[in-house]
Amino acid sequence: MPDPLHSPAAERNRQPILEVLRSVLPAHGVALEVASGTGQHVACFAAGLLRWNWQPSDAQADGFASIASWCAQSGAANVKAAVVLDVMSPRWPSEGAEFSGRFDAIYCANMLHISPWATCAALMQGASRYLSANGVLITYGPYVERTVTTSAGNLDFDVSLRETDAEWGIRALDEVTQEAALAGLRLSARIQMPARFGCSAGMTSASPVKRIICDTCLRPLSTCICHWITPTAHAVDVVLLRHPLEERSAKGSARLLHLSLAHSRVMTGEVFAERELQALLHDPFEPGAETTNDEKHAILLYPQTSEDTATLPTLTSEMLRDPSRLRLIVLDGTWRKSRKLLYLNPLLQQLPRLSLIGVPLSRYLIRKAHRANQLSTLEATCRALGQLEGNAAQFQPLLNAFDGFVTQHVAQREAGMNFGSKSSKAVI
């Protein structure tokens, strides 16, 4: 068997984590480890918790030989073969047969800060689906907390993470708790881990609660946003091309926008079939309508950047003369993901572009902007519609409702530790 991969951090923290697991887990059960990495953690835990059966997993199979090697060295026989599991997948594992049983514990270490924010929601939603009634989700890693001063080591670590990838970074515990609440999980414990590893870290725990989902906004009733839906008349059609990482995000504004605009459609994906996308760009929304006379002029809401090497199509005054003949294409995702959507779909690159004029400061307080004058999907679309239709005031009520949506999210985040049933548990 080849030499296993080695992580100095995992070597240092595996024993302290094991001691916490011994204190929070029952005497026996079945556990899933998400993002097993080198395999040092699961090998240590299996050897130290012999009455627990462990299922390691990772998004890539590259490290499976290392996981098997560490487990063999530990002598633990209570570990199954690792499986490919991408938390963003709607079914776990991502490959092979779906898990047939439920887990008494799901453990995930050091994933949330080195992956896009959407993986947090995906982890919580997946845990809610695959935990047993009395199961617990346990996470390990650094967090930012309102009531605790962030250490200098963690501040430096956060900077280095964001320099590596703008979508990485140490997560705010309040925001993680909010995503857990949306998945029906409640924070039950926050355990401070030893800080001698250079950066302080913590462990948390959670279990599923029965939720009633709103059929309209598709959120739990406790976080329903339907009262912010503001039906708004508009002449320009709107198509929202949503990146998959936005679909589960509690912060996303696209759902509220879509529910408020009657002439809007949403398609989720990263690479779209050309024929399907072509129809969405130009064909009437209403089935059976004549396409010859009613074909729409598609306009992409996207600025021209230094990366655009080809000459872009011109947005002519003739096209803008009749707003009812226009279809605004909006890319719903982070700056990086929206750029990826654009360059993975050549049809989008052939569209004339609309840049916003006089962009105001965003009121999207629940998400950090990585560029100046970045707006939420809802804000940008309302500004663009006002610009195309020559009536910005018409969309102000929807922007006011968006302010309420943001305020509600902030309030729920601050009250996050009180969400869910009192009998439910969560360790984050």
DSSP helix/strand/coil, 292: helix
Instruction: Give pLDDT, residue 218.
Output: 82
Q: For 153-181, how does the pLDDT look when each residue is reduced to its tens digit (9 = 90+)?
A: 888 888 999 999 999 999 998 899 888 88
Residues 301 and 407 in one domain: yes
Tokens of 176: 């993680």
Q: Is residue 425 part of a domain?
A: no
Q: Is residue 169 part of a domain?
A: yes
Residues 55 and 12 in one domain: yes
Position 385 confidence tier, pLDDT thresholds 50, 70, 90: very high
Measure the CA dihedral 380/385/391/396, to 10°: -40
Q: Is residue 71 part of a domain?
A: yes
CB-based contacts of 428, cutoff 8 Å, min separation 6: 137, 139, 173, 176, 177, 180, 187, 190, 203, 204, 205, 206
Q: For 101-159, how does the pLDDT look when each residue is reduced to its tens digit (9 = 90+)?
A: 899 999 999 999 999 999 999 999 999 899 988 899 999 988 888 767 777 888 888 89
Residues 157 and 278 in one domain: no
Report the candidate in 211, 212, 216, 191 with the shortest Cα–Cα distance to residue 201: 191
Q: Which single residue is written with the structure tokens 């499976």?
A: 64
Mean pLDDT, rounded, of the chain: 86
Residue count of the chain = 428
Distances (CA, A) of 310 to 101, 298, 301, 307, 319: 53, 18, 17, 9, 21
Give the max Cα distance, the chain: 75
Instruction: Give pLDDT, residue 318.
Output: 85
More confidently predicted of 253 and 210 = 253
CATH of the domain at 109: 3.40.50.150
Q: Which single residue is written with the structure tokens 């835990």?
A: 45
Tokens of 8: 């100095």
Listing DSSP states for 6-42 in one string gives --HHHHHHHHHHHHHHHHHS-SSEEEEEES-TTSHHH
Separation between Cα atoms, residue 362 and residue 369, nearest integer Å: 9
Instruction: Give pLDDT, residue 427.
Output: 42
More confidently predicted of 201 and 134 = 134
Separation between Cα atoms, residue 69 and residue 165, nearest integer Å: 31
Distances (CA, A) of 108 to 4, 87, 424: 20, 11, 19
User: How many Cα atoms within 13 Å fall on the side-chain side of residue 180?
Assistant: 32
Count of structural domains, the chain: 2
Q: Is residue 428 part of a domain?
A: no
Q: Is residue 128 part of a domain?
A: yes
Please state, as a whole number, how many other Cβ atoms lie within 10 Å of the Cβ of residue 86: 18
Residues 126 and 147 in one domain: yes
Sign of CA dihedral 78, 84, 87, 91: negative
Q: Is residue 233 part of a domain?
A: yes
In the listed set 186, 211, 236, which residue is the last one of a domain according to the structure? Answer: 211
Residues 185 and 249 in one domain: no
| Least confident among 130-139, 237-246, 354-363, 410-419 | 410-419
Residues 239 and 176 in one domain: no
Position 419 confidence tier, pLDDT thresholds 50, 70, 90: very low
What single DSSP character describes residue 183? T
Q: What is the pTM of this model?
A: 0.57
Q: Is residue 396 part of a domain?
A: yes
Separation between Cα atoms, residue 382 and residue 402, nearest integer Å: 11
Tokens of 216: 């309209």
pLDDT (average), residues 10-14:
92
More confidently predicted of 423 and 147 = 147
Residues 360 and 393 in one domain: yes
Residues 96 and 195 in one domain: yes
Is the confidence at residue 192, as pLDDT, over 50? Answer: yes
Output b/e per residue, 221-238; b: 16+ Cβ within 10 A: eebbbeebbbebebebbb
In the listed set 185, 211, 237, which residue is the last one of a domain according to the structure? Answer: 211
Is the confidence at residue 288, as pLDDT, over 80? Answer: no
Q: For 69-81, how does the pLDDT look when each residue is reduced to its tens digit (9 = 90+)?
A: 999 999 989 999 9
Residue 322, domain extent: 221-412
Separation between Cα atoms, residue 426 and residue 138, nearest integer Å: 7
Separation between Cα atoms, residue 399 and residue 422, nearest integer Å: 36
Residues 206 and 230 in one domain: no
Q: For 254-284, how does the pLDDT look when each residue is reduced to its tens digit (9 = 90+)?
A: 999 999 999 999 998 889 999 999 999 999 8
Residues 193 and 321 in one domain: no
Q: Is residue 320 part of a domain?
A: yes
Residues forming a β-bridge with 55: 32
DSSP helix/strand/coil, 174: helix
| Least confident among 117-121, 233-237, 251-255, 412-416 | 412-416
Q: Are 152 and 199 in contact (CB under 8 A)?
A: no
Q: Are 118 and 249 in contact (CB under 8 A)?
A: yes
Instruction: Give pLDDT, residue 319.
Output: 86
In the listed set 153, 178, 211, which residue is the last one of a domain according to the structure? Answer: 211
Residues 188 and 250 in one domain: no
Residues 280 and 405 in one domain: yes
